[in-house]
Amino acid sequence: MSKTYYTKKHEWIMVEDGVGTIGITDHAQEQLGDIVFVELPDPGLDVEQGDEACVVESVKAASEVYAPISGEVVEANEALGDNAALVNESAEADAWFIKIKLSNTDELEELMDKAGYEEFVESES
């Protein structure tokens, strides 16, 4: 069974069987505008919670995507290299950035559920 968590930096992570699939939220892609490029790490990279994991560039700005949890990158979404605009079309589904094998599941307790994230976004506006 999978469960999705959210960060205050507008990343999401769906955890299933010890692997977290990570991307940016619909809110984040709306703020960035048209996505033109995504820089992804190579599999095998170890990241700590809060480290820069990816970079996403839009017509407005470049923005870092931070690892919501520590672990080893096991896969990068190569489809984004060919079609970065997929992030605008499907930010919280097909346009995931990386998959990480979790090294510390206790870190999930620091993240928000969907309702908590929606409240957070509302409080920011």
Model confidence band, residue 125 (pLDDT cutoffs 50, 70, 90): confident
Using one digit for the tens of pLDDT, what is the confidence trace for 61-94?
999 999 999 999 999 999 998 999 999 999 999 9
Pair of tokens at residue 97: 């950035």
Domain ranges of the chain: 3-124
Give yes or no for residue 1 having a pLDDT over 90. no
pLDDT at 17: 95
Three-state DSSP class for 52? strand
- pLDDT tens column, 30-57: 999 999 999 999 999 999 999 999 999 9
Local structure of 100: helix, strand or coil: strand
Question: What's the predicted TM-score (pTM) here?
Answer: 0.95
Which is nearest to 30 in space by CA: 4, 56, 66? 56
**The pLDDT of residue 38:** 96
Q: What is the CATH number of domain 3-124?
A: 2.40.50.100
Separation between Cα atoms, residue 44 and residue 46, nearest integer Å: 6
Enclosing H/E stretch for 46 = strand 46-47
Confidence of residue 7 (pLDDT cuts 50, 70, 90): very high
Confidence of residue 6 (pLDDT cuts 50, 70, 90): very high
pLDDT tens digits along 86-100: 999 999 999 999 999
